[in-house]
Amino acid sequence: MAHPLHAVIAQTEQVILGKPRQIRLALTCLLARGHLLIEDLPGVGKTTLAHVLAKTLGLQFQRIQFTSDMLPADILGVSIYQRDSGEFKFHAGPIFAQMILADEVNRATPKTQSALLEAMEEQQVTSEGETRPLPTPFFVIATQNPTNQIGTFPLPESQLDRFLMRIQLGYPDAQAERGLLAGIERRDLIANLKPQMETAELMALQKQVRQVLVSPALLDYAQAILRHTRESARYVHGLSPRAGLSLLAAARAWALLDGRNAAIPEDIQAVLPGVASHRLQSVQDVHTSDGDKLARELIEAVAIP
């Protein structure tokens, strides 16, 4: 039943080499109707991943390169006075697309960032008193440079929470890198990609995700994880209820991606690094943000009830 998804994954893996887990997480995020934050160094393939996904899924794609002099109107659009008709006409901004790549989102000022994040949250844009809905499906992949780089406005914690997941790509392993260096130019590869799925099909899958079963036993496990983050002295704050909802939504999507119609603890464990790493902060080392390690520790600390 998840055949078209397999095709999507297979095609993406041909371009993005050696990152099957990250690809699946990105798709999970999309299926769970969340937004994705990719945080890594420049040049590891963040943009390529977004591009490939858009192409493969057959979604309208817009890339917004964030800069420090960007204004909210540059994203949302602006009404311009038409001399001949004597009226204001709304010129839609780049956000009116099904898939947005918000590149280097932490280079923009907080004001511009929050314009994007509000649009993400509401799935609509309000400008000059008029509310305009954004297309569906609507999926934002934001990329962010590591926050200790110069000239960045790191997203505050409350904004990070709007992203369902944050993943890191990391350097490819030797074999994948060899393939990358020896192979065809990625740009050409992308240009030749064919959509593997209809938009309607994607939306049906999104609906299906919501019907994946979460049993009371699994809820116990999810709650045990949330409780542990709140009671443990390891973390600055525990996970919020919204994080709990995100965790379950992502686990459902992961289960569907795996071809199951019920979520199991392994699904929660698979998505937990993506869902929890940007929401948890270790007490001991506030500056390094090795969220994956933290999430791994969290998994190992909580017994499955």
Report the residue number, 6 or 230, with the smaller CB distance to another protein.
230
Which CB, 20 or 151, lies closer to another protein?
Answer: 20
**168's torsion region: left (phi>0), alpha (psi -120 to 50) or beta?**
beta
With respect to another protein, which residue has the nearer C-beta, 141 or 264?
Answer: 264
The H or E element that residue 39 is part of is strand 36-39
With CB under 8 A as the contact rule, the residue among 181, 182, 200, 233 that binds another protein is 233
In angstroms, rounded to a whole number, what is the distance separating the alpha carbons of residues 27 and 253? 8
Q: Is 132 in the site for another protein (CB under 8 A)?
A: no
303 binds another protein (CB under 8 A): yes
CA distance 138 to 77: 17
Please choose, from the candidates 53, 5, 99, 60, the residue with its C-alpha nearest in 3D space to the C-alpha of residue 193.
Answer: 53
272 is an interface residue for another protein by CB under 8 A = no
125 strand-pairing partners: 132
User: Contact between 223 and another protein (CB under 8 A)?
Assistant: no
Q: Which residues contact 201 (CB under 8 A, 6 or more apart)?
A: 4
Per rule CB under 8 A, is residue 265 in the interface with another protein?
Answer: yes
The answer to the question of residue 215 lying near another protein (CB under 8 A) is yes
Q: Does 144 bind another protein (CB under 8 A)?
A: no
Q: Among residues 201 and 266, whose Cβ is nearest to another protein?
A: 266
Kindly tell me which residue out of 177, 198, 231, 285 binds another protein, with binding defined by CB under 8 A: 231
With CA atoms as reference, report the closest residue to 63 among 71, 155, 73, 74.
74
Is the CA virtual torsion 102, 275, 244, 53 positive or negative? positive
Q: What single-letter DSSP state applies at residue 213?
A: B
Closer CB to another protein, 118 or 266, in the complex: 266
Of 213, 245, 285, 293, which one interacts with another protein (CB under 8 A)?
213
Can you give the binding site for another protein, defined by CB under 8 A? 213, 215, 217-218, 230-234, 260-266, 269, 299-305
